[in-house]
Each structure stands twice: as structure tokens, then as C-alpha cells.
Copies of this chain bind each other. A is one copy, B any other.
Amino acid sequence: MRGVDPAWLPDGVFRPIGTRRTLIRGSGPLVDTVHTEVAGACARFGGRVDLDAGPGGAAYDLALELTGDGDGSEAFTCGRADGRTTVTASGGRGLLYGLFHVVRLGEAAFQGAYPPELFRPRVALRMLDHWDNVAVHPVMGQVERGYAGGSLFWQDGRARGDLERVRAYGRLLAACGINAVAVNNVNVHATEARLLTDRIGEVAEIAGALRPYGIRTHLSVTFAAPVVLGGLASADPLDAEVRAWWARAVAGVYAAIPDFGGFVVKADSEGQPGPFAYGRTHADGANMLAAALEPHGGTVHWRAFVYDHRQDWRDRTTDRARAAYDHFVPLDGEFADNAVLQIKHGPLDFQVREPVSPLIGAMPGTRLAVELQATQEYTGQQRHVCWLGPMWSEVLRFPVEQGSSVGELARGGLVAVSNVGDDPFWTGHPLAQANLYTFGRLAWQPDADPAAVLDEWIRLTFPDPPEPLTDGLHAVLDGSWRTYEKYTAPLGVGFMVQPGHHYGPSVDGYEYSPWGTYHFADRDGLGVDRSRATGTGYAGQYGKPWSEVYESTDTCPDELLLFFHHVSYGHMLHSGTTVIQHIYDTHFEGVEEVEAAREVWASLAGLVDPARHARVAELFEEQLRSAREWRDQINSYFFRKSGVPDAHGRRI
């Protein structure tokens, strides 16, 4: 698409297919998509594609065979024998994923022979939530927490007339395995509320653009819809009139979008309406929507991000980290089968380092989705390089209890808040594309090696990369999350950001606020005591072994120490350094690592196209400025407070 970066689907990645002869068997809308893709590649590179047997006797290099008659199944096999690579799938989606698998393999797909291997996603729902507003919000802008321009979907107060860009987006998402998109912000304002009813046609237009790539469309709705749209006196989920209203509304949605995915709901959270107003539970609320969706095969994703955002900072007993568990665990087993509880991966809010939410291990009778944040709200806002693959992988592989990992427990799906807007590079920072790609691939296979995924992304995005480029990109990206962690809030303490927009340091920015995000630093030490013995008891929300591991400073991992414990500046870490010296050291190191990464990027000038190189180079200047600001504010703050000089005598 002209003027828009091809991301991980530049023409070149289709060369191995486009130069060969391909046979496609089967029919259906997604087979049409497969055919369009292959035919486009052949048109560019001189190959050939035939549908069904084609003109008899031709020898094919690649066969893409639909063995069933639905689009549903996403699994496929891929093998090679007798000089032919064969992909089979029982569903159209599987065939499409199989095609992109061959694209990812590149020339290797056509070398030698290998037995058929089955590929299927471990997680059925792999979704991006867009926090896009239809009407530009006076404070939050068009995309809440968006750092990549305006919305891909909405422009001038309605759905874009030209959906070419949305189609291109769907294609990129299919190529990394995403199969669901929620097209509007979970904070549903007045304009957006109406997407559910009289403006559903606009959602249907978007759904139509995404459908050819196997992507179902979801909608964020307001719990108050029966009141604000329907004119009812109540939104009580047990009220028959309310339930009937929702049933009619859902029927209207499915009339417009037969394969509609379902709703995303943020209720009784940060001011959004919810069932509490009627003395009902979250399960009552979710189940009402689930009942309306059930006849049509839809799902409600009910967010667990519920806490008191008007907390008194003087009150050290209330602990926001406890809130989701305390609210939802008593409701385990009460949610309908098509109600999914969508849980942020950590107990707070997408900080650079948090423990895994204890709620994830505590809801055996509930379908759970785990929500990650691709948009870099707290991780540099797409002005900093911060590849989140290692963080997400740590989260997804985390053995919650009884051997089950987060990735395994997320039976209701893996969700990421999208980092995409109408920016020419999609994600603002060109290298932030790697986060989107990595999320898709990890959602497909949560135990995948993130470094291998990054390798894949590099080979696709920069076709035939010379070794210095591959090495350089790894050098810049591999450790970027840990680098970001080093120069920002230390040891899991979180939230030392500027209030409101969340960019840049402010150590006390949220310290005396109602948001429940504190560090309690004083002249002696810092951190939040969340132990059972002497603190808020949050550590006790975990099953074994984690409740014990986190309970004691002896066993708590360094990187989460200040999340779980209030310790003195002189406290010795397992790493062998004191907390205060760790703060100084990591902040100096973090900046040095950004300086080094900037140098590496500069050295890649001849190996990357000039526009992309220039954009990243420019952003590195801002990242470095910001990292130095973080270093100096954090170090100055803690030096002033602790009075402890740097052991290495550096100027603070």
C-alpha cells in the first residue's frame, strides 16, 4: 500500500512462492484470500498459480489444499516430499495460516524433504484491543494511550470511508496469527456507545475489511447502554426489560455482522458504569451479556481491572494490587461458558516489571483471557526502543501453580492492547512493529522462544538481511526491555512516571495521589510491604510456592523486591549489591546501554532504507535524552533522600 510501511510483509518475502508453481485446492472466502495472495506474488515474480487440478499434468512446487468445507479450523500441516511442499488444512483459516507459514520459511520451505508437521494455535482467541475513540477525546485524544498517530478505523467522527489501510492491517495480523480485533476503546464515551445500535453499520464496514483475513470483529460496549441508548430507567442485569433490550441489541449486531466476535466490557472500573449500581455482581453483569450473545455464538470479555481509584494515600492497608483477586475470586464458577474474564498480566497496570497476577491461578472454574499491552504506555511510548518479547515470554511461561503456565491457563484468549495507528510505520517507532509481531506469534504459541520470533521478524521485515544487520538488530532489540527497566523505576517498585500522560520520570508523581500506586520512600528505605506477616497480605493471594517465595526477602527475586517488601537502602540484594547502589548502578548502565544501542543503529545506516533509519535515529536522540533525565532524577531523588554516596564516586 503506497505511503505505508510494508512491515513484515514486503514484496520480497513472497519471492520463494512467487517464482514457483502453486496449486490451490478448495473453495471459500479464505481460499479466495489465499489465491489472491499467491496470484499477487506470481504476478510480481513470474510464477504460476492454479485452482484445483488446473490444466492437467503440471508439476507443482507447492500445494495448498483445503480438506474440509468450513473456514473455522486454524490448524494446518506442512510437509515436503517428492519435490513438492504441501500444506493441508480442514478450514480456510488454517490454509491461510499455512500459506503464511510457508512465507515465513522462505526458500527453506522448498529445500529437501521433511515430514508433514501439524501446526495449531495453543490459544483459540488471539486478540488486539484498540483503545480508539471515534470522537477525539479532549484529554486522551483519538487513541487512548496511542503513540502512532490517529485511529486506523475512525476518522472525522465516523468509520473511514477508505478501508484499504484496514485491509492491509488485517493482512499483517493474519501473517502473525491474530484472529480478533476490538475496534474501540474500553472507555466507551457517548459517541462510541452508539456503535452498538444505530451506528453498527460502520462496525460492519470494518468487519468486512478484516473478514478476508480470518479476523473477527469485537466491540467495546458500555454497561449503561440500556439507559443511555435504550432510554430505560435501569441497566440492572437481572431486570427482564434490560435483558430483553440487550437481546434485541445483540440480534441487531449479528444481523449486520454474522460472524461478530463479541463484546469487551470495562465495568465498575475507573468511573465506568457497572452492575454495582444495582447491587449485582460482576458475574451477574457478565452473564447477562453472555446470555444475549450465546444464541449467536458470541463471547463477552469482562475485564478484571477493577480497583478503588479514589484511594486515600494515607491509608497503607488498602492495596490496589489485591483488588482484582478480592473482587473476582469469590465469583469463580459463576461465569457463563461464553463469559471470559480478561485479566491484566500483572496486578497493577502494565509496569515494566510486575509479578504475574495471582488472579490467573485462582479462577479454575472460569475461562480467563490474559491482557498484555503492546502499546508502550509505561515502556517508552514508542519513542524508546523497548522490545517486550522477553517480558511477555516470562509472563506466559510463568508456572502459576500445579505446573500450569499463564499461557496454558489463558483458555479464553490472549489479548494485547494494540500499538497501531495511522502512522506510516504503523507503530510510530518502526522497531515497535516487532512488539506487534511478537505478540501474535506468542499468542499462537506461548512457549515459543522470543529470540526465535525476533529472528523471524527480522528476516521478514528486512528480507535477506546481511549478518551485520541481523546482529545489529538483535543488539538493539534483545536487551532493550531490561535496559528500559534499568533506567526507570527500580526493582519492581513501578509508577514513578509523570501523572496523566505517563511519559518521563516523576518519582513522587503518584505518591500522594488517589490511584493506589505508591513507593513509600523515606530517608531510610522504600518499597511496599505486601507480605502476609507484616504487610498488606497480597503475597498470600498466590498459591504455593509463590506465596512463600514472595513472602520473604530471603527468597523474593531481586527484580520484584520493592514490589513485595519495604527495605532499607542498605539492604543487600541477592546480586551482592545494596539497594541504593543497585539504583545508582542500573541507572548509569541503562543510559550507557542506550548510548551503545544508538551507536549500533548508526552503524546500520547503509543496511536499512533511509526513511526508516532516519526515523529510528531521530527517536534514539529522544530516548537518550529521556533516559538521562530518568537516570538523573531517580539518582538525585534517592541520593537526596538516602544521603548515601555512589560507591564509584560518579556525579549524581
Chain A positions within 8 Å of B, measured between CB atoms, are: 314, 505-508, 512, 521-524, 629, 632-633, 636-637, 639-643
Contacts and interface: CB of A to CB of B under 8 A. Distances in A.
Nearest to A632: B314
A519 to B, nearest CB: 11
Closest 8 CB pairs of A and B: A522-B640, A523-B523, A508-B508, A512-B633, A523-B643, A523-B641, A314-B632, A641-B641
Contacts of A521: 640
A633 to B, nearest CB: 5
Contacts of A629: 512
Contacts of A633: 512
Given A508-B508, A522-B639, A641-B641, 13 more contacts: A505-B512, A506-B508, A507-B508, A512-B629, A512-B632, A512-B633, A512-B636, A522-B640, A522-B643, A523-B640, A523-B641, A523-B643, A524-B643
B507 A641 contact: no
A488 to B, nearest CB: 14
Contacts of A640: 521-523, 641
Contacts of A637: 508, 512
20 contacts: A314-B636, A505-B512, A506-B512, A508-B508, A508-B637, A512-B629, A512-B632, A512-B633, A512-B637, A521-B640, A522-B639, A522-B640, A522-B643, A523-B523, A523-B640, A523-B642, A523-B643, A524-B643, A640-B641, A641-B641
A468 to B, nearest CB: 37
A521 B641 CA distance: 9
Nearest to A633: B512
Nearest to A513: B506
Contacts of A505: 512
A639 B636 CA distance: 19
Copies in the complex: 2
A47 to B, nearest CB: 54
A505 to B, nearest CB: 7
Nearest to A643: B523
Contacts of A506: 508, 512
A643 B524 CA distance: 8
Nearest to A314: B632
Contacts of A639: 522
A555 B641 CA distance: 29
A383 to B, nearest CB: 18
Contacts of A641: 522-523, 640-641
Contacts of A314: 632, 636
Nearest to A639: B522
Residue with the greatest number of chain B CB neighbours at <10 A, chosen from A523, A524, A636, A642: A523
A540 B568 CA distance: 43
A633 B514 CA distance: 12
A274 to B, nearest CB: 27
A640 B512 CA distance: 13
Nearest to A640: B522
A512 B524 CA distance: 22
Contacts of A636: 314, 512
A629 B513 CA distance: 10
A636 B512 CA distance: 9
A318 to B, nearest CB: 16
Nearest to A526: B640
A240 B204 CA distance: 64
A512 B628 CA distance: 12
A607 to B, nearest CB: 36
A109 to B, nearest CB: 54
A637 to B, nearest CB: 8
A632 B524 CA distance: 20
A410 to B, nearest CB: 39
Contacts of A508: 506-508, 637
Contacts of A512: 505-506, 629, 632-633, 636-637
Contacts of A522: 639-641, 643
A525 to B, nearest CB: 10
A506 B643 CA distance: 22
A547 to B, nearest CB: 30
A314 B506 CA distance: 15
A189 to B, nearest CB: 18
Nearest to A634: B512
Contacts of A642: 523
Contacts of A524: 643
Contacts of A507: 508
A514 to B, nearest CB: 10
A625 to B, nearest CB: 12
A497 to B, nearest CB: 13
Nearest to A524: B643
A602 B524 CA distance: 44
A506 B521 CA distance: 15
A140 to B, nearest CB: 14
Nearest to A498: B499
Residue with the greatest number of chain B CB neighbours at <10 A, chosen from A508, A632, A639, A642: A508
A512 B497 CA distance: 12
A641 B637 CA distance: 11
Nearest to A520: B640
A314 B643 CA distance: 17
A300 to B, nearest CB: 37
A95 B508 CA distance: 58
A505 B642 CA distance: 23
A435 to B, nearest CB: 29
Contacts of A632: 314, 512
A636 B633 CA distance: 20
